[in-house]
Amino acid sequence: MAKVGYIFKANHYDTFESDKEWMRQYGCVQIVEEPVEHETLRPQWKQLIATLGRGDEIVVSSLCHLSNFAE
């Protein structure tokens, strides 16, 4: 069971480094960073979902990192 962080690196994301450090301290073994250029397709998110195992946790610092997903 692993904790994996997910960060969408939006423009003007002022708390990126502190959010990333918080995830490390929380126990995330990996932190996935999605660049703003991939906002529509979110390939890093799709890869993260595909590799999760039973009991793994996704950690986000804000629900806004999960919004605007393409259908």
Q: Which run of H or E residues covers position 8?
A: strand 3-9
Query: What's the burial of 16, exposed, middle or buried (CB within 10 Å: 0-12/13-18/19+)?
Result: middle
- The pLDDT value given to residue 69: 53
For 17-40, what is the mean pLDDT?
93
- Rounded Cα distance between 71 and 61, Å, is 23
Q: Is the Cβ–Cβ distance between 28 and 3 less than 8 Å? A: yes
With a pLDDT cut of 70, the percent of the chain lying above it is 92
pTM: 0.84
pLDDT at 22 over 90: yes
**CB contact at 8 A, 7 and 62:** no
